[in-house]
Amino acid sequence: EIKDTSNQKSVYFVSGGFLEVSSNVATILADAVERSSEIDVERAKAAEKRARERLAKRKNSEIDETRAEAALKRAIWRQKMARKRDEI
């Protein structure tokens, strides 16, 4: 959540990277940043479902478990951030 100089709040989903705060200025270096108002919730739900399905098959296939777990976490957090925008 970011407040601008006019006290307007914005919520962002940030995936991977670093945040530096210095002299009241925040700098974000991230793999992906998405404004919560632009998150497609249905797409995030579909991504969560796909990730869960991949993880369910992990014992029977050669899936990249780390990548599937990261996709699952990303999908869940995107949905949380989309809900948070409705609270503002």
Show Cβ contacts of residue 30 under 8 Å, excluding neighbours closer than 6 positions: 14, 15, 16, 17, 18
pTM of the model: 0.74
Question: Per the structure, how many domains does the chain have?
Answer: 1
For 16-53, the pLDDT digits (tens) are 899 899 998 889 899 888 988 899 999 999 999 999 99
Q: Where in the sequence is the domain holding 70, given as residue range(s)? A: 2-85
So what's the pLDDT on residue 44? 95
For 52-71, the pLDDT digits (tens) are 998 988 776 777 888 899 99
So what's the pLDDT on residue 9? 85
Tell which residue, 58, 78, 80, has the closest CA to residue 68. 58
Radius of gyration (C-alpha) of the chain in whole angstroms: 16
So what's the pLDDT on residue 42? 96
